[in-house]
């Protein structure tokens, strides 16, 4: 029997004389929630949501995977001795050690600042610097606790001082650089810190394509076990 839109939702004294009620429609005034829509639309929305989640997780999985969080291939990261010249994209970098210093914040809480000490230069023809962040060039991990961190900042040495946010100037020899990480107050200095420098490739890393090419991190890189040197605690 065909449905009749707009059927009443209440009970009438003459209900017996009325034609059979239609199923609830979910229209305004109805006391029944609308049924789930049929057709491909919910599946399309679900597909879009799933795609977005996959894209966001990809960067996180790449970082954790590369640092040994999951079972993985063993050839993604190349074991590299401290002091070795590393070439990644348009950069030549060298790292020799990590300093560890317990510091006090303005809110009287503590943290450990771990700093990879090295030098670097660009082989390109314009001023540039390695990226930091979730998709950046560097990462570190304390093997004992499993804590993994990305840099909180990178500083470059000029005339004996270090400047945050500077860049390598093309055509110059290597300059000192510091890659800084903030570790939890519970960190206990170990003999070494695992420090990873990811390989870079020049490509369009956007989801839709057609964008300008940039230097982007890959899952391959160099795995250094840098010796840790503990500095005196800094308070106040």
Which residue from 156, 158, 138 is spatially nearest to 148, judged by alpha carbons? 138
Which residue from 145, 119, 132, 182 is spatially nearest to 67, judged by alpha carbons? 145
What dotted CATH number matches 77-230?
2.60.40
What predicted TM-score, i.e. pTM, was given to this entire model?
0.69
* Domain definitions of the chain by residue range: 19-66, 77-230
Top pLDDT among 150 and 19 is at: 150
Which residue from 161, 195, 158, 154 is spatially nearest to 173, judged by alpha carbons? 158
Span 1-28, average pLDDT: 47
Q: Which of 62-66, 131-135, 198-202 has the lowest mean pLDDT?
A: 62-66
Span 63-70, average pLDDT: 50
pLDDT surpassing 60 at residue 168:
yes
| Mean pLDDT over each residue of the chain, to the nearest integer | 78
What letter does residue 168 receive in the DSSP assignment?
Answer: B
pLDDT at 235: 83
Asked if residues 196 and 142 have their Cβ atoms less than 8 Å apart, the reply is no
Cβ-based neighbours of 200, under 8 Å, separated by 6 or more = 88, 89, 90, 91, 130, 137, 215, 216, 217, 218
178-227 confidence digits (pLDDT tens): 999 999 999 999 999 999 999 999 888 776 767 788 899 999 999 999 99
């Amino acid at each position: 029997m065909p449905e009749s839109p707009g059927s009443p939702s209440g009970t009438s004294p003459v209900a017996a004389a009325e034609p059979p009620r239609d199923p609830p429609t979910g229209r305004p005034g109805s006391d029944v929630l609308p049924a789930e829509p049929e057709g491909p639309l919910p599946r399309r929305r679900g597909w879009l949501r799933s795609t977005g989640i996959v894209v966001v997780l990809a960067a996180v999985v790449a970082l954790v995977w590369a640092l040994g969080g999951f079972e993985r291939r063993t050839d993604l990261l190349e074991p590299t001795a401290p002091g070795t010249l590393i070439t990644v994209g348009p950069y030549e970098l060298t790292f020799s050690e990590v300093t560890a210093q317990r510091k006090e914040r303005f809110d009287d809480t503590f943290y450990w600042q771990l700093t990879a000490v090295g030098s670097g230069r660009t082989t390109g023809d314009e001023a540039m610097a390695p990226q930091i962040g979730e998709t950046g060039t560097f990462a570190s991990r304390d093997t004992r606790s499993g804590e993994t961190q990305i840099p909180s900042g990178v500083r470059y040495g000029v005339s004996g001082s270090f400047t945050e946010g500077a860049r390598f100037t093309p055509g110059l020899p290597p300059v000192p650089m510091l890659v800084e990480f903030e570790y939890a107050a519970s960190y206990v200095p170990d003999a070494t810190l695992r420090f990873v420098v990811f390989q870079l490739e020049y490509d369009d890393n956007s989801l839709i394509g057609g964008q300008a090419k940039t230097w982007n991190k890959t899952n391959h890189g160099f795995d250094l076990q840098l010796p840790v040197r503990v500095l005196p605690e800094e308070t106040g």
